Structure 1
Amino acid sequence: MTLLVASLALTCSAFCTTLHAENTSHIGRHQSTPDDVQAINQVLLDFQSALLNKDVKQLSSLMLNSNILFASPSDQQTITRAREQVDVNYDGLPTGGYSNFARFIAGSKKRVQEKFYNVKISQDDNLAWASFDFEFLEDEKIQNYGLESWQLMKQTANGKFSAWCGRRTARPSNKSHSCPIHVLPEPLMRIEMIYGLVLVAALAHALWNSIVKGSQDHLLMLGAIRSVGLLVGGIVACFVPLPAAASLPFLLTAAAVHYVYYACMLNAYRLGDLGQVYPISRGMAPLVVTILGIVIAGEYLDGWKLAAIFLISTGLLSLSFSRGKPPSKAIAFAIATGLTIAGYTFLSGLGIRLAGSALSYIAWLEIAAGAGVVIAATVRRRSTAIEFARSHWRIGMIAGMLSVGAYGISLWAMTRLPMAPVAALRETSVIFASLIGVISLKEKFSLPRFAAACSVAVGIIVLTSPHAA
């Protein structure tokens, strides 16, 4: 086992070293802080609020000045008509900019609203950009939609971000979507490196699960792991700001779903073989996250990424039937486990983007999702808990650190990448667990296992290749 971990660590180290072989460390190293990102996000929320309330005073307070360009380029038909009837030099950008927009909002007799989707923020010190898809509504009816882009500047005097320039493309539409606003900043490191970290997290996930599997008391070992999460979460929470209020519903709901996940998982393991139910739950989770991400969160995935996720999930699911068909009840609980995995992954993927501080969200999720497990393990194993802690504290601490690190990396990656690819790569822990079984436990590497591993490997290559980035 030690040799395996050392070899894989060396491989990951070599992979990371290769990625950074080029002397381009200055590229993408922007100066950005969680507080600044939260402040920029608040500007967008205040803008939406000002429109709803027709509060042009609040609206003007968000702008650098009243003369900024804040307009949509006109379509060709409007440009042609204006040149024929009014101004032969009309270039498609209406004069007046923000002032005209403010007068329109103040004079409108209808309920005006603008919804934002797929918000992306890029910042470097005092300069920032925010781009997003939008819908502009009057009396709940969509008048136009398209892509909107803002430039924002941080004023040195008060540290406040103000809009400097706004541009949009607008098209008439009758379609509507619903999605919580979220922030997806530009990656601060190469995407390949982030994918590499998620694969390391998958390995860590496989290692701590193998420790739980090999333990004489699964509940106490799980309690030991969550105790480490509570400790780490509590320490980190003392040094970071509280998660933003907008993220709390997602955090609390994700924590609640974690407890349903624990219950479904334990029942699945009780009714079926680990090697059969585990791949079902882990294999279906990326598929569900993909659907939720596209339908609810509005995340875009090209054909390459969708194909890669399908290959990975198919490979994982096929492992379940390499030893025959599992019992029906075990399959039912395995499916329920997969749905809960997808649920807390999706909720946390949205929540951590709204938290302002990824570390703060991770810390409080460890506390909220771990406290109940520690209490349950202590109460149900009251007579043996202390002795178990004395004899297993080292391995429990190692497993706990692996668990916290693995989930923390995965959640952080979702602040930089769409949720589905991260979920798919994280669930490759099933393949790592299978390889650990073959190497350390001398289990047979059968043809179905080989086929599943190949399917997952091809999926990883496609997902992380440049044409799928």
Structure 2
Amino acid sequence: MSPLALLLILVAAVAHASWNLLSKQASKADGVVFLWLGATASTVIWGPVAIGYLVATGTPVTLRDVGVICGSTALHVGYFLLLQRGYRYGDLSMVYPVARGTGPMLASAVAVLFLGEHPAPAGIAGIVLVGVGVLIISGARFKADKGLLYGLATGVFIAAYTVWDAQVVGVFMVAPILLNYGGEVGRMLALSPLVWPKRHLIGQVWREHRPRVLGAAVLVTLSYLLVLIAFTMAPVSVVAPAREVSVLVAVLLGGRLLAEGGLRRRLLAAGIILGGVAAIAFS
């Protein structure tokens, strides 16, 4: 992995953990409304950047581009809905590592089985370490904890969109900014029918969580844009696990800022996951 790709991934990890902190802080609000507000704000904030890119580069947007972006949007909508639901029931320092740890394991497995990528033995050992870390952080309570179950389900969507989006920017050659922005517009449109019956809550959620909505609107797009750019520099089986250094950041944020319990055990588990990530990334 090139130093630039690694730098992009590390910055993305901090941004990603930070917007998840904001989402957790807003978890008592209506999740669908909060997500719709975030997507709408992101559409407005990042619109000039996307339009400026199109004008400056003269890049055409084809029907094929729209089709693959719609596929990405569907996966991301499922991801956001499950994650926000997970935060309603579970701690940031538990749900986030379980989701982010499960995702790269599955993404790497798919990349090996279907994309012809072949990680070294160290990479395989890293995948095992990530699995062990997820088990430790769960406290073996998968059946009893809704937050953990939602975290695992979120991990499936993480794996799916990671592999899909890597093909979109790599094989289909869709510019990362267009995929990212198109996904935000698509998420806003896809959630609109779900928000309509709850439209009376829009003003309330906006007033109570405006800084979190705006912060997430900026950081969600920024964090994933950096990852998409990294996908153009390194294989999926390397980028997907390496970005999960964010689990350590999220556990620290949850323990220190949200006063969540079990910090030592979760830090240990996050460290194991991080070790597995490092083994995969540098194998």
TM-score range, shorter chain: 0.7 to 0.9
Contact 1:202 1:427 in 2 (8 A): yes
Q: In structure 2, how many angstroms separate the alpha carbons of the residues matched to 1:361 and 1:199?
A: 21
> Residue deviations 1:346-371, cap 9 Å, x none?
11110112234222222212222333
The reply on whether 1:211 has 2:29 as its aligned counterpart is: no
Letter in 1 for 2:29: D
Q: In structure 1, how many angstroms separate the alpha carbons of the residues matched to 2:258 and 2:90?
A: 20
Q: In structure 2, how many angstroms separate the alpha carbons of the residues matched to 1:370 and 1:316?
A: 32
**Unmatched segments (≥5 aa) in structure 2:** none
Return the TM-score normalized by structure 1. 0.52
CA positional deviation for 1:329: 6.2
Letter in 1 for 2:3: E
Contact 1:224 1:389 in 2 (8 A): yes
Q: Which has the higher strand share?
A: 1
Alignment partner, residue 315 of structure 1: 133
> Residue deviations 1:340-396, cap 9 Å, x none?
12111111110112234222222212222333235634x244223224434543332
Alignment partner, residue 454 of structure 1: 271
Q: Which moved more, 1:349-358 or 1:282-291?
A: 349-358
Q: Tell me the percent identity.
A: 26
Alignment partner, residue 285 of structure 1: 103
Match of 2:191 among 343, 349, 373: 373
Residues 231 and 274 from structure 1, CA distance in 2 versus in 1: closer, same or farther, beyond 3 angstroms?
Answer: same
Match of 2:216 among 399, 408, 419: 399
Match of 2:82 among 264, 268, 275: 264
Letter in 2 for 1:210: L
Give the aligned CA root-mean-square deviation in angstroms: 3.0
Q: In structure 2, how many angstroms separate the alpha carbons of the residues matched to 1:388 and 1:333?
A: 23
Contact 2:79 2:157 in 1 (8 A): yes
Return the TM-score normalized by structure 2. 0.82
Contact 1:230 1:371 in 2 (8 A): no
Residues 210 and 269 from structure 1, CA distance in 2 versus in 1: closer, same or farther, beyond 3 angstroms?
Answer: closer
CA positional deviation for 1:332: 4.8
> Residue deviations 1:130-170, cap 9 Å, x none?
xxxxxxxxxxxxxxxxxxxxxxxxxxxxxxxxxxxxxxxxx
Match of 2:154 among 319, 331, 337: 337
CA positional deviation for 1:404: 0.8
CA positional deviation for 1:330: 5.7
Contact 1:198 1:413 in 2 (8 A): yes
SS at structure 2 position matched to 1:435: helix
Q: Which has the higher helix share?
A: 2
Q: In structure 2, how many angstroms separate the alpha carbons of the residues matched to 1:421 and 1:429?
A: 15
Q: In structure 2, how many angstroms separate the alpha carbons of the residues matched to 1:274 and 1:457?
A: 17
Q: In structure 1, how many angstroms separate the alpha carbons of the residues matched to 2:158 and 2:147?
A: 16
Alignment partner, residue 252 of structure 1: 70
Contact 2:93 2:252 in 1 (8 A): no
Q: In structure 2, how many angstroms separate the alpha carbons of the residues matched to 1:427 and 1:385?
A: 33
Question: How many residue pairs align between the two structures?
Answer: 275
The reply on whether 1:436 has 2:253 as its aligned counterpart is: yes
SS at structure 1 position matched to 2:72: helix
Contact 2:93 2:250 in 1 (8 A): no
SS at structure 1 position matched to 2:139: coil
Residues 392 and 272 from structure 1, CA distance in 2 versus in 1: closer, same or farther, beyond 3 angstroms?
Answer: closer
Letter in 2 for 1:224: L
CA positional deviation for 1:249: 3.7
Letter in 1 for 2:42: G
Residues 390 and 431 from structure 1, CA distance in 2 versus in 1: closer, same or farther, beyond 3 angstroms?
Answer: same
Structure with more relative contact order (C-alpha pairs < 8 Å, separation 6 or more): 2
Residues 454 and 279 from structure 1, CA distance in 2 versus in 1: closer, same or farther, beyond 3 angstroms?
Answer: closer
SS at structure 2 position matched to 1:238: helix
CA positional deviation for 1:416: 1.4
Q: Which moved more, 1:330-339 or 1:410-419?
A: 330-339
Alignment partner, residue 226 of structure 2: 409
Alignment partner, residue 227 of structure 1: 40
Q: In structure 2, how many angstroms separate the alpha carbons of the residues matched to 1:195 and 1:247?
A: 27
The reply on whether 1:304 has 2:122 as its aligned counterpart is: yes
Contact 1:276 1:321 in 2 (8 A): no
Q: In structure 2, how many angstroms separate the alpha carbons of the residues matched to 1:231 and 1:194?
A: 28
Q: In structure 2, how many angstroms separate the alpha carbons of the residues matched to 1:386 and 1:446?
A: 36
Residues 317 and 434 from structure 1, CA distance in 2 versus in 1: closer, same or farther, beyond 3 angstroms?
Answer: same
Contact 1:283 1:314 in 2 (8 A): no
CA positional deviation for 1:270: 5.3
Question: Which structure's CA Rg is the greater one?
Answer: 1
SS at structure 2 position matched to 1:346: helix
